[in-house]
Amino acid sequence: MARAICLRALTGAARTRQQLADLLERRGIPEDAAAAVLDRFGEVGLVDDAAFARAWVTSRQAGRGLARRALRAELRAKGVDGEDAEQALAQVDDEDERASALHLVERRLRALHRVDRVTATRRLVGMLARKGYNGGLAAAVVREVLDEAGSYTDGPDTDGRDLPGGDG
């Protein structure tokens, strides 16, 4: 029964050994039976935490733009041990992280064209922080992108469109 549960779980997506162990525990499978099935799945390559971690990091960093800190937390939550996680995270270097942050800010900036620079900075740095970027990198990237955009003032919009009684 443990074998069938694991095979069904692996049909949809790759899983870590810990995720499968938790699933088997919730289903009431005895610990020794679960360990035997998981050991066998590991031997034949159906469960490979290192491969899972590499694929997870590649997918989440490229797709969601997550920083290493956020990726590390996600891997830990999925039960990937420290060494496998660190090896997977080594795929992402400082330049990859900076390029991802730039891309995220440039993409998000389009929606912030009507706010002042201070508000745009706060929102963009907050977005990067939620994705695991450290404050120094986030501030530097946001400053760089806003400087390049050049259309941001230091205060609220003053063209009259957003002010009460404005003609916009």
In the block, residue with structure tokens 């806003």: 146
Burial of 49 (0-12, 13-18, 19+ CB in 10 A): buried
Helix axes of 94-109 and 135-149: crossing angle, nearest 10 degrees: 50
What is the structure's pLDDT at 99?
94
Q: Which residues lie below 8 Å from residue 99, measured CB to CB, with a gap of 6+?
A: none
Query: Splitting the chain (168 residues) into consecutive groups of 10 residues, what average pLDDT does each group show?
Result: 90 92 93 93 92 93 92 94 92 93 93 90 95 94 90 52 41
Model confidence, pTM: 0.79
